[in-house]
Structure 1
Amino acid sequence: MKKLIVLLSVIMTGLSSTNLSAQEVGTVSVSGEGIVNVVPDQVIIRARVEHEGSTAQEVKQQVDTDVQKIFQYLKKNGIDDKHVKTEYLNLNKQYNYQTKQSRYHANQSISIKLVNIKDYEKIIAGLMESGLNRLDGISFTSSKEKELLAEARKKAMLDAKQKATEYASALGQKIGKAVSIYEDMNAGGHYPMYKTSMMNAEADGAGGPTIALGEMQISTKINVKFALLD
């Protein structure tokens, strides 16, 4: 019985030593960033149709009429239905305590994606003629967004590997396999960098630039943990 207890003690001690050794394997944690710049080739227009009147039915009908004209114009000019979306529709009653009268305000917000950025000037002019009376803003995108994000991820991994190698080298060590990889989704993004080509206006005889295309910056940040080797 005593021999069995001693044998078990030796086995448990050996297991504890093995676990301790596994826990003591060194690692180095680093972050890597990947950035890819590209000139955008698509644009998203965010705009509104809004009207004010004395009755809810009146303003709602005015908005509906203009929106129908806009949809017809977009379809006529080859804009696919999947690239046109109603963001929201509002109808509000506003009471004036001085005049003791109510006014109604209705608006509908629309987003339009142009897959050919060269159509921007023509489409904007046509939208205004069709009844659009408020432009809320535009944003640029790229048709190669997925491919560019994949390229940014590769750059981020290589950046992380280089950092880890430098840290390990300073200690006279090398890096092994990656133990864990985590992509920080909050750190990446698509940021316009207004520093390159300009789009010229042809509408109304204007010859100067109306929007700056610039460059989109597609970026991502990755946190990687590497094993350290002696």
Structure 2
Amino acid sequence: MNLKQISAAVIFAAMPVLASAQAMEPVIQVSGKGSFSVVPDAYTLTFVMEEKGETVSKLNTQMQSDMKSVLKFLLDNGIEEKHVQSMQVNLNPYYESTPQGREQRGFVLSREIQVTDTDINNYDRIIDGALSRGIDRMQGFQFIASEQNNAYEKALINAVKDAKLRAGLLAEELGVKTGKVIAVSESGNSYPMPVMRMEMSAKADSFSSAMPGEQVVEARVNVSFAIDE
């Protein structure tokens, strides 16, 4: 390759870099954070049922009987069928220590029932009734807001407003103006966080023993604005 060919190759290779540099616009990039408070109006929890024995068929027969009793109780007490999930099943061998070492003595069959109830004052009766019908333990109890998706959308709108405000403040300080939006992205959201603040009604008849307080749903965005000088 001669000198002219080498020079042409260098110029050709540099063209994309120069074109990219010319295409870049000065921008103001900011992060916005928004939040929205909600009052939980429902609860969710998971019941766990276990059976231990030598044969899987006997375990399954016993569990099916208890499961029908629990499910009937839940539906009879206001839990909607769409809010009950009972398909999670686990089967594992169990072992015991003997003079000859660990020996398998049977199986442990477990099944989970996930429940969501929109009657927040009903949780104690539901738990007591389920435990008296063969449930061995419960886990994952928490108060939730049934309109959580709507709350996040409102938090996201507040995050965008916050980003616009921050960009405007920076632009004003720099003596420029914000232009069109070059790029925008969500940088994540957070699960509802409890707020240690509760409001009690002065009326005794509106008082509830279930007082979950408020929860805050948060959203974050990254926005790049063009600079109009």
Establish whether TM, by shorter chain, passes 0.5.
yes
Cα gap change, 1:37 to 1:87, in 2 (>3 Å): farther
Q: 1:164 aligns with which of 151, 162, 167?
A: 167
Contiguous gaps of at least 5 residues in structure 1: 1-18, 199-208
Which residue identity is paired with 1:148? A
Does the residue aligned with 1:130 lie in a helix, a strand or coil?
coil
What is the CA–CA distance in structure 2 between the aligned matches of 1:87 and 1:48, rounded to whole Å? 12
| Aligned: 1:153 with 2:152 | no
Report the count of equivalent residues: 200
Do the aligned partners of 2:93 and 2:104 also contact (CA within 8 Å) in 1? no
**What is the distance in 2 between the residues matched to 1:62 and 1:216?**
41
Q: Determine if the alignment matches structure 1 residue 124 to structure 2 residue 127.
A: yes
* 8 Å contact kept, 1:196–1:213: no
1:223 equivalenced with 2:222 (yes/no): yes
Deviation at 1:194, TM superposition (A): 5.5
Partner of 1:50 in structure 2? 50
Query: 1:191 is matched with which residue?
Result: 192
Q: Secondary structure at the match of 2:98?
A: coil
Paired position in structure 2 for 1:26: 26
DSSP 3-state at the match of 1:189: strand
Identity %: 28
- Counterparts of 1:98 and 1:215, CA distance in 2: 54
Task: Name 1:92's counterpart in structure 2.
Answer: 92
Q: Could you tell me how far apart the structure 1 residues matched to 2:108 and 2:193 are?
A: 34
Matched letter for residue 188 of structure 1: N
> 1:48: Cα distance to partner?
0.4
Letter in 2 for 1:191: P
Instruction: For 1:218, give the aligned amino acid.
Output: V
User: CA distance change for structure 1 residues 212 and 137 in 2, over 3 Å: closer, same or farther?
Assistant: farther
Q: Distance in 2 between matches of 1:194 and 1:124?
A: 25
What's the CA shift string for 1:133-183, capped at 9, x where partnerless? 111121222122232112101110111111111211221111112222111
Tell me the amino acid that sits aligned with residue 102 of structure 1: R
SS of residue paired to 2:185: strand
Q: CA deviation at 1:191?
A: 2.7
RMSD of aligned C-alpha atoms?
2.5
Partner of 2:12: none
- Partner-residue secondary structure (3-state), 2:178: strand
Instruction: Work out whether residues 190 and 218 of structure 2, in 8 Å CA contact, stay in contact via their aligned partners in 1.
Output: yes
- The verdict on how the C-alpha distance between 1:107 and 1:179 changes in structure 2, with shifts beyond 3 A counting, is same
Q: Give the structure-1-normalised TM-score.
A: 0.78
Structure 1 contact 32–223 (Cα < 8 Å) conserved: yes
Shift in CA distance, 178/128, structure 1 to aligned 2, threshold 3 Å: same
Secondary structure of 1:183's counterpart equals strand
What letter is aligned with 1:92? N
Cα pair 1:160 1:223 within 8 Å, conserved = yes
1:56-135 equivalent positions in 2, closer than 5 A: 56-98=56-98, 100=103, 102-135=105-138
